[in-house]
A and B are shown apart, each in its own frame.
Chain A
Amino acid sequence: MIPQFLQERRYQFAVLAFIVAILLPVIVGSNQYYRTVLILMLIFIIYASAWNFLTFSGQGSLGHAAFFGLGGYFSSLIAINSGIPLIIAVFAGACVTAGIGVLIGMTCVRLREWFLAMVTFGFAVIIQTLIVISQLSPITGGWDGFAVPKLIPSSIPGSPNLEYYGILAIAVGSILVFHLLLKSKIGLALAAIRENEMEAKASGINPVPFKLFAFGISSFITAIAGALEVCHFGYISPEIFGTDISFWPIIYSITGGLGTLAGPIIGTIVISLLWEGLNALGFTYERFIVIGILLILTIIFLPKGLVSLPERLQYLKRIKTGDEK
């Protein structure tokens, strides 16, 4: 009676990971530190997956913090000023951000590689500056930022677990959306554009709407991640547009496996756990060195990321046994 899709090992692994994710709050109990780590990990899984989705269309971004931050600002401002439930405001803010994402996409859809990356980086700088200019500071709080309502008020019984499961549901939902999109004709078109845009055009695929679609979806999900982060902190300030916020999803995705659905998830989990584990062992500065070495080793020996490690080990095993030449 096992469903057909569970015959595939990747789905078996996904189900196993999901079960572990559901059980984690039970394992960590009431420890707020563990829960904070888990929640931030889930938020960055959503964020890294959204950044990674853009790469399926052959595009890259060095300024995704702009969408992350805008999602935080729009959602908070909508929630505070309209009085609508926060979770609806999160999605409303993400819709506005996605609209901006498409507009940005329209300006740079014909750019490639570093040119596109630099435009997105510049966009993040512009957005941060706009947020703090004095004319907008009565609304945005300028450099001081402002307080944001919590996703689940602490007065509600079981709020920490509710928050975790709510964010887990959004994370799973986001990954499912990416999975379904990539399995659809849209995914095939994106792959064709990524592999060879000229050939894709010759085959009758117009790359522009597909690239814009990828930009829109990526900025939408990134904005949700940003909104969830500020709701968890209960505060937003322009630091959310920081350069490090733009670079973490890139590092997570490359380490885990660029252009795969599981890559950003595995990359985020492994680096986050390594980061916290080393901290627990008393390493502070050294963490940067370890993460740097991990990134370098991954790029050199596992260019497809940690997700390809089992495949790589099997390949090496076949060479050793003489099955592979």
Chain B
Amino acid sequence: MKHWVPYSLVMSIVIIGALLFSGCTEQPASESAESIKIGVVASMSGPASTTGKDIWQSAELAAQEINAQGGVFVKDLNKKIPITLVQGDDESTREGGIKAVSKLITQDNVDLLVGGYSSAVVSAHQSIVADNKVPYIISGGSSTSVSHRDDIDTSYMFFHRPNTDDSAKASILFIDEMVRPEIYKKFNLPDDRPLRLALIFQDSPFGKGQQGAVRNLTQDLNLPIEIVAEETFKMGESDFRTALTSVKAKKPDIIYAVTFLNELIPLTQQARRDVGLDTLILSIENNDDPDYYSGVGALGDYTLMESRFSPYAIPKGSTSERTKKFLEDFQTKYGGFAGMMGAATYESVYIAAKAIENAGTVQKDAVRKALSEISMDHMIEVMKDQVIRFSPDYQESSFDLYVEQMKMDPAVGEIRPHIVWPESIRETGFVIPDWYQPGSP
């Protein structure tokens, strides 16, 4: 009998562990319709956790605003129902994502999902969403491989973000329309010289999607742009000096960096400070976050960013007032500014509320149908035709994208973005800094 004592001890640890993870998490189903349960899929830990926090807080703010108005009117119940958010930490990994989404759907019994960030993570948990037929407004997962899948039923998935083709197109058109003429004029370069573009991209569907889109666009549009360097790095990496040294040897006119926020800051610093790259760096919209402005320091001066939402550069027009209010409310609640992924999630919660209201029920198939037919005024991000709607083919929304240039603001001691493209909304002209050196002749 005494032999069993030590093993009973080990077994007890296992059972206590099992109870720990089972007993503490059971949530009542929302069949009682006491609240509308929205699951927020966010990377609360792991390499993308900075963005995950932004996503979660912005979702909280939207839910709080809607609940302050009494909630969402549900016709079937003839009353307003408040929103309850449930957090699903995808841990920035495929395994974490699949566990988080399984838990949100089957244990927390959410009515709808919002969020999702990394394309690799989203692609891994999409099959669970498809199997369970839960409406999901995905504000990340920008790779077309995520939204254009045909092996699973994606009819319950709606993509409230530009895909990699859209954002790469904005960046490449800006380079061709604005950067190339300015550099050529300033340095008397011959018109037939192709602009030398270097790509540094994350080794993920997100990064590779951008790389493919840039290649295809320059070819399809027959643009005089030559890709002279293509360097990859692993997600979460912090030392880019080897890749940057290789890029420097190829003498580019501009670098296009496809990164997450926690990668762009060291990449920019190391490019200018350690490797001495006297060239322009254009980054991509998911980095438009207050942490970038405060983190990169003076070395971010004159860098460029393709964007669709910025805490400091608000496009003039119908979205500006609401954007200012969103930023103020966010600062009041959390003591900081929201980033672009936060803005998209904030809107996603409102889109979810509108879809449930239009459906008049929380029944998932009815909500899916309402989402596919939704047409609501744009809110804080500028949408094509000023309307939020999802395309009939891949259920993607369409944004008016723009490019900002950073300039040091001595009053705050940080860089600040200024919209320089397109012409219709630009605040100021694009500037080539004094220290800039073009690539090989």
Do A and B interact with each other, yes or no? Answer: yes
Residues of B contacting A310 in the complex (Cβ-Cβ under 8 angstroms): 5-7, 9-10
The answer to whether B3 touches A237, judged by C-beta atoms less than 8 angstroms apart, is no
Q: Mark B136-151, 1 if CB is under 8 A from A, else 0.
A: 0000000101000101
A113 at the interface (CB under 8 A from B): no
**Number of A interface residues in the complex (CB < 8 A):** 58
A151 at the interface (CB under 8 A from B): no
Q: A277 to nearest B CB, angstroms?
A: 4
Knowing A40-B95, A288-B45, A311-B6 touch, does A33 contact B131 (C-beta < 8 A)? no
B275 at the interface (CB under 8 A from A): no
In Å, the complex CA distance between A100 and B345 comes to 45
User: Pick the contact of A233 from B22, B25, B127, B204 — CB < 8 Å?
Assistant: B127
In Å, the complex CA distance between A257 and B131 comes to 38
The answer to whether B20 touches A145, judged by C-beta atoms less than 8 angstroms apart, is no
Residues of B contacting A284 in the complex (Cβ-Cβ under 8 angstroms): 44-45, 49, 89
Q: A42 to nearest B CB, angstroms?
A: 13
B407 at the interface (CB under 8 A from A): no
Q: Mark A24-48, 1 if CB is under 8 A from B, else 0.
A: 0000101111111100100000000
Knowing A143-B203, A270-B14, A277-B24 touch, does A132 contact B208 (C-beta < 8 A)? yes
The answer to whether B10 touches A276, judged by C-beta atoms less than 8 angstroms apart, is no
Interface of chain A, main secondary structure: helix
The answer to whether A273 touches B20, judged by C-beta atoms less than 8 angstroms apart, is yes
Knowing A12-B3, A33-B102 touch, does A144 contact B208 (C-beta < 8 A)? yes
In Å, the complex CA distance between A276 and B89 comes to 11
Q: B30 to nearest A CB, angstroms?
A: 16
In Å, the complex CA distance between A9 and B9 comes to 13
Knowing A37-B99, A147-B152 touch, does A280 contact B21 (C-beta < 8 A)? yes
Knowing A234-B152, A244-B93 touch, does A144 contact B205 (C-beta < 8 A)? yes
Q: Mark B199-229, 1 if CB is under 8 A from A, else 0.
A: 0000111011100000000000000000000
Residues of A contacting B209 in the complex (Cβ-Cβ under 8 angstroms): 143-144
Inter-chain residue pair count (beta carbon < 8 A): 144
- Which chain B residues numbered 19 to 72 have a C-beta less than 8 Å away from chain A? 20-22, 24-25, 44-45, 49
- Which chain B residues numbered 88 to 136 have a C-beta less than 8 Å away from chain A? 89, 93-95, 98-99, 102-103, 105-107, 120, 123-124, 126-128, 131-132
In the complex formed, the residue of B with least CB distance to A243 is B234
The answer to whether A279 touches B89, judged by C-beta atoms less than 8 angstroms apart, is yes
Residues of B contacting A234 in the complex (Cβ-Cβ under 8 angstroms): 127, 151-152
Residues of A contacting B181 in the complex (Cβ-Cβ under 8 angstroms): none
Q: A74 to nearest B CB, angstroms?
A: 19
The answer to whether B45 touches A36, judged by C-beta atoms less than 8 angstroms apart, is no
User: Pick the contact of A239 from B4, B120, B128, B131 — CB < 8 Å?
Assistant: B120
The answer to whether A32 touches B128, judged by C-beta atoms less than 8 angstroms apart, is yes
The answer to whether B149 touches A147, judged by C-beta atoms less than 8 angstroms apart, is yes
The answer to whether A31 touches B107, judged by C-beta atoms less than 8 angstroms apart, is yes
Q: B164 to nearest A CB, angstroms?
A: 10
Residues of B contacting A233 in the complex (Cβ-Cβ under 8 angstroms): 94, 98, 124, 127
Knowing A144-B145, A277-B21 touch, does A313 contact B203 (C-beta < 8 A)? no
Residues of B contacting A307 in the complex (Cβ-Cβ under 8 angstroms): 10
In Å, the complex CA distance between A166 and B437 comes to 62
Q: A193 to nearest B CB, angstroms?
A: 30
Knowing A269-B14, A313-B9 touch, does A235 contact B44 (C-beta < 8 A)? no
In Å, the complex CA distance between A144 and B206 comes to 8
User: Pick the contact of B204 from A143, A277, A285 — CB < 8 Å?
Assistant: A143
The answer to whether A306 touches B10, judged by C-beta atoms less than 8 angstroms apart, is yes
Q: B39 to nearest A CB, angstroms?
A: 12
In the complex formed, the residue of A with least CB distance to B107 is A33
Knowing A36-B102, A243-B234, A287-B45 touch, does A270 contact B7 (C-beta < 8 A)? no
Q: A272 to nearest B CB, angstroms?
A: 8
Residues of B contacting A144 in the complex (Cβ-Cβ under 8 angstroms): 143, 145, 205, 208-209
Q: A259 to nearest B CB, angstroms?
A: 17
Q: B304 to nearest A CB, angstroms?
A: 24
Q: B260 to nearest A CB, angstroms?
A: 14
Residues of B contacting A270 in the complex (Cβ-Cβ under 8 angstroms): 13-14, 17
Residues of A contacting B44 in the complex (Cβ-Cβ under 8 angstroms): 284-285
- Which chain B residues numbered 367 to 402 have a C-beta less than 8 Å away from chain A? none
Knowing A143-B203, A233-B124, A313-B9 touch, does A36 contact B17 (C-beta < 8 A)? no
14 chain-A/chain-B pairs, Cβ below 8 angstroms = A13-B10, A31-B107, A33-B102, A33-B103, A128-B203, A143-B208, A144-B208, A147-B151, A147-B152, A233-B124, A237-B94, A284-B44, A310-B6, A313-B9
Which 4 pairs, one residue from A and one from B, show the smallest C-beta to C-beta distance? A310-B6, A143-B208, A273-B17, A147-B151
Chain A residues with a Cβ under 8 A of chain B: 9, 12-13, 16-17, 20, 28, 30-37, 40, 128, 132, 141-145, 147, 150, 154, 232-235, 237-240, 242-244, 266, 269-270, 273-274, 276-277, 279-281, 284-285, 287-288, 306-307, 309-311, 313-314
Chain B residues with a Cβ under 8 A of chain A: 3-7, 9-11, 13-14, 17-18, 20-22, 24-25, 44-45, 49, 89, 93-95, 98-99, 102-103, 105-107, 120, 123-124, 126-128, 131-132, 143, 145, 149, 151-152, 203-205, 207-209, 234-235
A143-B205, A239-B94 given; 10 more Cβ-contact pairs under 8 Å: A9-B3, A12-B3, A32-B102, A34-B22, A40-B95, A142-B208, A233-B124, A235-B127, A277-B20, A310-B6
